[in-house]
Amino acid sequence: MTDPASQAATGESGPPTARECVLKVLHRQTPPRVVFAPNYWQWFAHYRQHGLLPAELRDCPSQLALIRHLGLDVFSRNIYCSQAATWVGGLATETWDGVEVEVKRHTDGGDTVIEKVYHTRRGRLRERLRYLFAESTLVQEEYLFKDFVGEMDAFRELLRGRRWRFDRELYSRWQGEVGESGLVVAGELFSPLKLLHFAAGADQAVFLLQDFPDQCRELLAMHEAAQLDLVDQMLGAGVPAMMSMDNLDSMFHPPHYVERWSASYYEQAARRCRERGSAFFIHACGRQKAVLPLIASLGVDGLEGVAYPPLGDTPLDEAMRLAGDRLIISGGISAMETERFTTPDEVRRYVEALLIRLQPYRHRFMLSASCNTSIRTSWRAIEWFRDAWREFGG
């Protein structure tokens, strides 16, 4: 190995940093090695709070420290995110005009229950979330928008009065903490269609769109304007990559729904990012085959979390072909692999075959977890995937 002094004397540089490799992919340039940027958010929180971490990780304080311990890359929208408080976000704060918000928390059998009441000029809305301690995950127990006729005016007032303020200093602190280990992704956004999923549930959103199309068009336009304002704030802060947290599964985002309700938002956000040198991603665990060509046509830069069948519906190399010649895709490792592989040889064979198939697309691919890493994944399996990446990702 060449020492730094010799490198300086000969003009040689050291090995590329994780940050440099990630930036190569964002610029669609082939990195010197495959980027491996896994998502251990729920896994690490679960193992830590349940006392399950192996001895070598007992003093590991965070997901970032775990990724560094393994020698992997950071391309993450939840390094900074409070695992027990929200699914997404943490760098932007909701601001309100004409809406008062009450937040109450209490414990229930080890779980944390979060109740939010929104007092608007046209009525009250309420939602309830529960952090399941046994599973280390947040679930929605009561949706915000339930009575579509009786609560329509209040929901309209809530959307009219809500904006977001991006905390550029907090973002800078987190990126400074990550440093050359990679990039912090600002995962603060969600599409107009996802707004209805969050507010009413994915199934009830269908009835809303079918029964109240004119009202929905008005509601979603207000949300789109607020989200594009947040995009502009993040671009003003110099954020190099941002993500819309939409779970872009074609079961809930069929192409004709995306085209009608979210395409304008995606297209405008992607264009603004492109003009300012940033990258616009969509979180996309699930089935994307039907919607991939449309998403690519809107100028979106990348999809996070694409999974192989049966969790997904298209192999990653086929997804790359469907996505045109510029869409970046991360993914390839899902719970189907981390839970069922029981030997290092199984992992080696899987990773080797995957990276061989993706060789032509290395300039726009990052190896990653498809959505998250299952809490049923063993520490040994995590090490096996790291070792296989080291062996075949060069």
- Provide the 8-state DSSP code for 306: E
**Does any domain span residue 110?**
no
For residue 122, being part of any structural domain is answered with no
Q: Helices 41-49 and 63-70 meet at what angle, rounded to 10?
A: 110
Alpha carbons 394 and 392: distance in angstroms, whole number: 6
172 contact partners, CB below 8 Å, separation of at least 6: 237
Number of domains in the chain: 1
This prediction's pTM: 0.94
Query: What does the pLDDT read at residue 11?
Result: 41
Position 307 scores a pLDDT of: 84
Residue 126 in domain:
no
Q: How far, in Å, CA of 171 to CA of 356, rounded?
A: 36
Non-local (6+) Cβ contacts of 343 within 8 A are none
Cα separation, 296 vs 256, whole angstroms: 15
* 102 occurs within a structural domain: no
Q: How many CB atoms lie within 10 A of CB 390?
A: 16
Do the domain assignments include residue 109?
no
The tens place of each residue's pLDDT in the chain, 394 residues long, gives 333 333 333 344 678 999 999 999 999 999 999 999 999 999 999 999 999 999 999 999 999 999 999 999 999 999 999 888 888 899 999 999 999 999 999 999 999 999 999 999 999 999 999 999 999 999 999 999 999 999 999 999 999 999 999 999 999 999 999 999 999 999 999 999 999 999 999 999 999 999 999 999 999 999 999 999 999 999 999 999 999 999 999 989 999 999 999 999 999 999 999 999 999 999 998 899 999 999 999 999 999 998 888 888 999 999 999 999 999 999 999 999 999 999 999 999 999 999 999 999 999 999 999 888 999 999 999 999 999 999 999 9
Cis? peptide before 4, omega within 30° of 0: no
pLDDT for res 82:
86
pLDDT at residue 1, rounded to an integer: 31
What is the predicted pLDDT for the residue at 308? 81
In sequence order, what DSSP letters do the residues of 174-236 get, joined into one string? HHHHHGGGEEE-EEEE--HHHHHHHHH-HHHHHHHHHH-HHHHHHHHHHHHHHHHHHHHHHHH
Quick check: is 245 in a domain?
yes
Residue 241 lies in a domain: yes
Residue 323's domain spans which residues? 15-95+163-392
The enclosing domain of 230 has a CATH number of 3.20.20.210
List the structure tokens of 342: 């029981």
Any domain includes 131 = no
